[in-house]
Amino acid sequence: MTEWHSGRRRANGFTFIEMMVVIFVLSLTAALVVSNLDGITARTTLSSTGHNLGNRLMFLRDIAIVQGREMTLEVNFDEQGWRWIDRPGATEVPDERDREDETFYGNYIELPDGVILDEIAFGRNETESSDVYELTFSETGELFPSGFVLYLRHEALPENDGLSVEISGLTGIVSYHRGRIDAEEVRPESDF
């Protein structure tokens, strides 16, 4: 028996239309995934910035203890960043004018895009308001002013969904809390 075939052969593979449909579905899926990552990347950026600050504070505390002299972190809300200040002691440079000339001022650590230094809170007795704060570790590692909470937020997240970086003035322990919290000295004991 003879079979009759048309002159056309079916090619193996996909047609152009099938390929375009698959590419469209993949690009639509990718667009949805990327658009939903904004909250994740903002939160991750915020967290890494807060941990960077906490690590810098712990580093300065350790340096103050090891070198036996004060170390300072300057937090500047106008510059939206912080920097390390290393002032020589009176025994190293006796003349006060020369001491200022010998002071090392580090570069400001710039915040990543979208991260905002929002607020700093001290204990009940320290309510001064300024755009520049100096946080100084003594040669024994004690912090002055005694403990604080620095609140960071990201412009892509709700205002109260930021990160509070808390440091104890006596122990120098840094802790991180999602959202706004009060300074250690102001919170009730039941929070601990």
In this predicted model, what pLDDT tens digit does every residue of 98-138 receive, in sequence order? Answer: 888 888 898 998 899 899 999 888 865 554 567 899 999 88
Distance, CA of 139 to CA of 130 (rounded, Å): 26
Tell me, what's the pLDDT at 186? Answer: 47
pTM over 0.85: no
Segments of the chain assigned E as strands = 71-76, 81-86, 104-105, 109-110, 115-121, 132-137, 143-144, 148-154, 163-167, 174-178
Task: Give the range among 64-73, 81-90, 119-128 with minimum mean pLDDT.
Answer: 119-128
Asked if residue 61 lies in contact with residue 172, where contact means CB atoms within 8 angstroms, the answer is: yes
**CB-based contacts of 50: which residues, under 8 Å, 6+ apart?**
152, 163, 165, 176
From the list 91, 87, 93, 39, the residue with the least C-alpha distance to 63 is: 87
Right CATH for 16-191 from 3.40.640.10, 3.40.50.360, 3.55.40.10, 3.90.1150.10 = 3.55.40.10
161/125: higher pLDDT: 161
The pLDDT of residue 100: 83
User: What share of the chain in percent tops pLDDT 90?
Assistant: 27
Residues 13-56 have pLDDT tens digits of: 778 888 888 898 888 888 777 766 655 688 889 999 999 999 99
